Amino acid sequence: MSFEVICFDCDSTLSKIEGIDELARRVGVGEAMSRLTDAAMNGELPLEAVYGQRLSTIKPDRQSIDWLGDLYIEEIVEGVKEVFTTLLAQDKEVHIVSGGLRQAILPLANYLGLSTDHVHAVDIYFNADGSYCDFDQNSPLARTGGKAEICKQLIKSQASLVMIGDGKTDMEAKQAGAFVIGFGGVVDRPVVRQLADYYLADNSLVSVLAHIL
């Protein structure tokens, strides 16, 4: 199949890390946060039940977000740069659709040649001294079903859209009429194997090209 609009999750899809878990480890609460993240990604808890709780516990400051931005690039999944170069060279409409923190994802997007307006994620707010203030509590991406809402906005008339990701939240894009490819190269989730229209277990993202072009 060939798709006009191609959307990627970020954490455990474009980069090998889960950003919120890395921020949690940095302040010594990693194990507890990892359990919450897994529960949300496996569909055991609604995303909104854990989103604010994780951030209010971690309280990531501006310096931490800059650090995470660098880490996303350092831990990039094999083949991602090649995939983005190929898709953008063919004038495909490419987006990152993530429940992660937008300011931390923007450096990765820039590295991949993606414009900032094609990054859909949750904004984080800081106080004047750079300390954590809040997050965009109105963002659809901080709640269950949010990725379907974004994909619905991105599907133009007659356009076909594919969503590629590792979590149950990515599978929700099917509600918007998207074709969904599960990526298990970083984390293999049985619920994603079950719900995806197609599932890839390769360590490299390059294999996705054969299914979207």
The rounded distance, in Å, linking the Cα atoms of 136 and 126 is 11
CA distances, 180 to each of 7, 45, 71, 79, 81 (Å): 10, 21, 27, 19, 21
Q: What is the maximal distance between C-alpha atoms in the chain?
A: 50
In this structure, what token pair is assigned to residue 141?
């991406």
Beta bridge partners of 179: 162
Q: Is 188 a catalytic residue?
A: no
Q: Is 129 a catalytic residue?
A: no
Which of 20, 8, 3, 212 is CA-nearest to residue 97?
A: 8
How far is residue 172 CA from its own chain's centroid?
Answer: 13
Strands (E), the chain: 5-8, 93-101, 119-122, 124-126, 132-135, 161-165, 179-183, 198-200
Residue positions annotated with a catalytic role: 9, 11
